[in-house]
Amino acid sequence: MAGRSFEDSDAADAERVALVNRQFERQFFLGNDAVGRTIMVNGAETRVVGVTEDFKVHQLGEAPVPYLFLSQRQSYSPYITFLARGTGDEDAIALGMMTTARAVDPGLLIFVSSTMQRHLGVPLLLRRMGAALVGTFALLALLRTGRAARQHLGQPGAAHLERRGVVGTDRGAARARSPWPCIR
């Protein structure tokens, strides 16, 4: 991260500040350093104090999207997303975050509390199912190839036909070897 994050001094009566991601910096500042520059946000001059790395917003495979963050103290919104990275039991970390948030504001409504693994489980489901299906077909092809090879090698004279590039006969007519063993 370039610059800084939000600080306690970024109060409602202080200079309005924002964080942007790298894609925002590339797109709106043509790749020049955005820290210290002023932008207009909802009709108010706002100084960029930090630049975060790019991240995924909606899909794992998406291209970077420009993103702007405003200080909660300066631009109140009743909807907040908290993210945390840690080691250990994910459920315990999520519970600790909820407990801390409720200690700050007992009337706080928490709509969703989830671990990253559960959060990514839905978007990754189709990709995982597709990978499993491809793997299943690949396994079936390998099994079929192995069975076909054993059948051909078990025929009388197979060694002679193998050297000449013929794998078997079909009612007396020779068949040429396919470059793909599973295709007859």
CA–CA separation, 124 and 62 (whole Å): 13
Cα–Cα distance between 121 and 128 in angstroms, integer? 9
Task: Specify the amino acid at residue 7.
Answer: E
- Cα angle: 62, vertex 71, 92; to 5 degrees: 70
Which pLDDT belongs to residue 152?
58
pTM for the model stands at 0.53
Q: What is the pLDDT of residue 50?
A: 95
Per-residue pLDDT reduced to its tens digit, 39-97:
999 889 999 999 999 887 766 778 889 989 898 888 877 777 777 777 888 888 888 88
Q: Mind listing the pLDDT tens digit for each residue in 121-132? A: 777 788 888 888
